Amino acid sequence: MKDPEKMTTAHPILAAGAGAAPHLPSTASSSSGSESGGGDEEWDDWADQGDATGDGEGDDDAAASLFDPAHRLPSVPAALAHDASAHAFDLIALRRALRLGDHGTFQLINWVRTEVGAGRDPRPAVRAAAAAAAGGGGGRAASSAVPWADARFLVPHLADDALLCYDYDEEDDEGGGEAQRPASAAAHGGDSGHELSAARAEAAALRAALVTLAAVSLPPDAAAALPPAVLAALEEAGWEGGDAAGGGTPSAAAPPPPAKPQPPSATATALPAAHPGAANVAAVDRGYFGGYAGLGIHRTMLGDAARTATYRAALEENPGTVKGKVVLDVGCGTGVLSLFAARGGAAAVVGVEGAAPMAALARAIVAANGLSADEPAPGAPPGAAPPGPVSIIHARVEDLIAAGPLPLPNIAATAVHAAPPTPTTGHKVVDVIVSEWMGYALFFECMLDSVLAARDAWLKPGGVLLPDTAAVHIAGLSPSGSDLDFWGDVHGLDLSAAAEAVRAGRRAGGAVLEVGPHHVVTSPATVLSLDLLTATPGDAEFSTTFCVEAVAPPPPPAAGEGGAAAAKKPATTTVTVGSVALWFDVAFSRRACPDSPQVLCTGPASPQTHWHQAVLELDSPLTLSVGGGDGHSPTHLRGRLSMARGAEHRSVDISLECEACVGVDGPAAVGTKAVRLYTFAMSD
């Protein structure tokens, strides 16, 4: 076999110096469509409008040289021609020689930019791959032989890289088609079953990518402004309209979003059992990620002192867990947890965020704090190395897993990928996974599935999950805990009919309310405990019994001032249970955080968090005796709580059975057992 390095000076693609005539991409628009050219013209007209802000006059088409990012050419063809003549790197000809599809071309571009940014010459490796492809192997370099065949090079190295938005298929068509293809490819026939299947698969992937891009970047009213051909292509690929966020700046007049995507007041219509949630998965996910694309929700979460301080302490006060490690932040939002991990001494941090506008903002926040692994610090000299360990990726975790190995910052990629994967480790390159995945009643939003998928795909044996345990608790509430007393007297008016309407809605969809300790009239009970290192997605569905005892609640805050009023109040002998509350705790246990264990509690007795408590209204209030009663009156509330995934994607069904009884193991219940189903679903 010939030595590729000895062939480089004779290779026509990469040896075209200043005196050679490299392939020059055409700048003419395509005319190979129908005679009217309607579809192509409409697409071109739409593209020619520039960016939506209207401030890109003439700059939208500018492209940076692969070998000198500071050198911007007026167009992609001009940049490609410059690189071919000045740097002996003809990307169009290489694309044909290596038979690269769009994904392969994007990987090659990002890899070249990465190598150049690191001060290395990428051309010898490309020459070797081109020589190998020309010498055999079916006209295509084996993916294992090329260094850019890695999923991390699908992530843009250069923000807004015009070379990644170019239609290279048009250049292939104008460059001569069959005459320009390698001889071995022509010999196999361009319309073979294998080639056709590969082309169809690639087209399907590109259509899916187009729909994903449209979902996160086009506002809801964009359809009316799209050219008919573009709209038809999007709808054919499955687009159902842009998400509410639209990738833009929220209107100043719009109300701030809730702390979490709110459940409605009634149960959503169930889908057919044969396809539970299948029809609305994409639409719900668009709404879900769109709900996290605005800053209002992140302001609420960051302002939750208990939440944010607990995560900060876990990441910054446990050097034995974080220092020198590779950390993955699932659902990174503004990137705050990633920054905490970097300040805690992590060697590399990868933040993954599904909302495109928020991922872009997180990159800017990380760079502003001088901790970016993707770009030099502001004001740094040209060619300076990125200053920090944090890299932000816009993707759904599940899509990133399907793409292959986790893309790591350059600061860690070399060390992590230096040793080949073993059957034991595979692509498991992460030491710590951190995520704030919890929803109302713990499981609403179903984000735990993504965390567990990341754990199974990337967490090293012996790795750490933060938090690493979780528990769900239940207790009975007085009628005032449902905040329905408000309606009884509104400026002297009886609006109790409104209270009944609210109560009826909550009996279907539950509620999320701020419950105080003075509303709690029974002891609490733990209905679920999870070890997140071993948990499975199926653990989010469970059914368990509980039994709680009536207790005298503490006085309300106003009555408790000074203790005098409470001291004179007669002892409580009975309490009324009008609803039950659910809440959760998560722990950063000594196993995961030996230096400084942490617990985040969201119950009524703890400082309130943005999760508050999930409240399930009973059909009829139940009266219980406190302190053992007379031996005949009910003293306990017992029942069964069940949770399951709802028919709608990311929703949770909660079934509650409860009855009053005498003692923990007393005789038959007093009264009638109540059974009700509550659905916490995403808002429309």
Given 190, 220, 250, the domain boundary residue is 190
Rounded to whole angstroms, how far apart are CA atoms 473 and 656?
Answer: 14
The helix (H) or strand (E) run that includes residue 10 is none
Number of domains in the chain: 2
In a domain, 269, yes or no: no
Closest Cα to residue 148, out of 201, 94, 74, 79? 94
Look-up of token digits 């050419």: 73
What pLDDT does residue 454 have? Answer: 95
User: What counts of helices (H) and strands (E) characterise the chain?
Assistant: 22, 17
- List the chain residues with pLDDT less than 50: 1-58, 137-144, 174-194, 197, 216, 242-279, 283-293, 414-415, 417-424, 560-567, 682, 684
In a domain, 661, yes or no: yes
Evaluate whether 113 touches 154 at the Cβ level (below 8 Å).
no
Given 190, 213, 243, the domain boundary residue is 190
Q: What torsion do the CA atoms of 130, 136, 137, 141 make, to the nearest 10 degrees? A: 0
Task: Please provide the size of the chain in residues.
Answer: 684
In a domain, 129, yes or no: yes
In a domain, 566, yes or no: yes
Given 172, 190, 208, the domain boundary residue is 190
Evaluate whether 234 touches 279 at the Cβ level (below 8 Å).
no
3-class DSSP state for residue 547? strand
Evaluate whether 435 touches 447 at the Cβ level (below 8 Å).
yes
Rounded to whole angstroms, how far apart are CA atoms 84 and 72?
Answer: 15
What pLDDT does residue 665 have? Answer: 65
In a domain, 156, yes or no: yes
What b-and-e string marks burial along 585-613, b requiring 16 or more CB atoms within 10 Å of the CB?
bbbbbeebbeebbbebbbbbeeebbbbbb
In a domain, 385, yes or no: no
Closest Cα to residue 642, out of 671, 620, 675, 668? 675
What pLDDT does residue 108 have? Answer: 92
In a domain, 300, yes or no: no
In a domain, 200, yes or no: no
CATH of the domain at 553: 2.70.160.11
What b-and-e string marks burial along 261-299, b requiring 16 or more CB atoms within 10 Å of the CB?
bbbbbebbeebeeeeebeebebbbbbbbbbbbbbbebbe
What pLDDT does residue 569 have? Answer: 58
Question: What range does the domain containing 506 cover?
Answer: 469-680
Q: How many CB atoms lie within 10 A of CB 678?
A: 23
Closest Cα to residue 340, out of 327, 331, 353? 327
